Amino acid sequence: MDHVTVKDVMERFGLELAAGGEGLGRHIATTDISRPGLEVAGFFDHYPANRIQLLGRSEISFFSMLPRLDKMERARRLCSPDTPMLAVCHGMRIPPELIHAAEEAQVPVLTSGLTTTKLSSKLTDFLENRLAPMTAVHGVLLDIYGLGVLITGKSGIGKSEVALDLVKRGHRLVADDCVEIRQVAEDTLVGNAPDLLQHLLEIRGLGIIDVRMLFGASAIRNYKRITLIIDLENWDPQRSYDRLGLEEEKQRILDTELTRLTVPVRPGRNMSSIVEVAAMNHRMKAMGMNAAEKFSERLNDMIGREQDPLA
């Protein structure tokens, strides 16, 4: 899981600091956003203090109507030690009692010209992406015909060479060698490259190449949802490989199961074409067209007719 500070949010959305500048390093630990309407009215029994507190027209207008002592008391309780930040929307004027309480508690108060709904939506999307559970795997991630295909396998099996050939065919590289994977939603994994390796591809005997510089911006993507895993392994003559495609293997990453294909590598096999067709076939299956199942049904019908000639 990544770390997000109030300063990160301020810079990302162009928010202006109104008070509590010493607390810009506070960590935001949850993706939930709170609109403290009940708290402004005085009900703090279930105050979610660890969330970003979003104050819109309703909250600020009601706050302004309170007696001065109530304003000071509510502002002090809003700026608790666990509160990462307060954000005031619509560019509204911030009550001086809130500024005073924020300075005392060192809780940042930031202002935005956006509406409360828009800012809440933007903050939620940003935090869900940055705070999503994360892992890293050794492999190559590509965008092939719109599908995020993660190619795995032992070091030296030829993953990067396959990726290079697919990029030359018009597909897009997302990450090579190390793929950072975040679970941004239920059953949704998104992969990207670490900043150090972004747009780079390592080819043994050639070295590191910059895909964006060589092939242009259309040859790369910064991130992609992962749909299919293709695991490359050296051909094992003792192993029985799936020849029909009826068996479906799964691999769990974080809390999501993905379809996994094991493809043997041996001299003479065009691995780039096989990976490309595997992505196309997986897409067809998702659309309800499964060639293996149709073949199996036709084979069973043929066997049935041979066993019962009168049928």
Active-site residue, from 57, 93, 138, 269: 138
Is 202 labelled as part of a ligand binding site? yes
Q: Measure the CA–CA gap between 283 and 227, rounded to whole angstroms.
A: 9
Give the type of residue at 64.
S
Residue 12 designated active-site: no
d(CA 30, CA 131): 7
Catalytic member of 35, 74, 130, 159: 159
Report DSSP letters for 40-94, one per residue. HTT--TT--TTSEEEE-HHHHHHHHHS-HHHHHHHHHHHS-TT---EEE-TTPPP
Phi, psi at 296, each rounded to 5° = -65, -40
Known catalytic residue: 177?
Answer: yes
Bridge partners (DSSP) of residue 75 are none
158 annotated to a ligand binding site: yes
What's the CA gap between 155 and 251, in Å, rounded? 19
Q: Tell me if 155 is assigned to a ligand binding site.
A: yes
**Cα separation values, 192 from 40, 198, 257, Å:** 41, 8, 18
d(CA 4, CA 1) in angstroms, rounded, equals 10
* HSE (side-chain half, CA atoms, 13 Å) at 164: 16
- Verify whether residue 242 is a known catalytic residue: no
Kind plus residue range of the DSSP H or E element containing 104? helix 96-105
Selected catalytic residue, list 46, 195, 239, 243: 243
154 is an annotated ligand-binding site residue: yes
Rg (CA), the chain: 27
With CA atoms as reference, report the closest residue to 94 among 13, 178, 20. 20
271-286 vs 159-168: helix crossing angle, rounded to 10: 70
* Residue 243 annotated among the catalytic residues of the structure: yes
224 is in an annotated binding site: no
| Active-site annotation holder among 7, 70, 165, 177 | 177
Task: Provide φ and ψ at 16, rounded to 5°.
Answer: -105, 135
Residues noted as catalytic: 138, 159, 177, 243
Q: Please report, in range form, the residues annotated as the binding site for ATP.
A: 153-160
Q: Please report, in range form, the residues annotated as the binding site.
A: 153-160, 202
Q: Please report, in range form, the residues annotated as the binding site for Mg(2+).
A: 160, 202
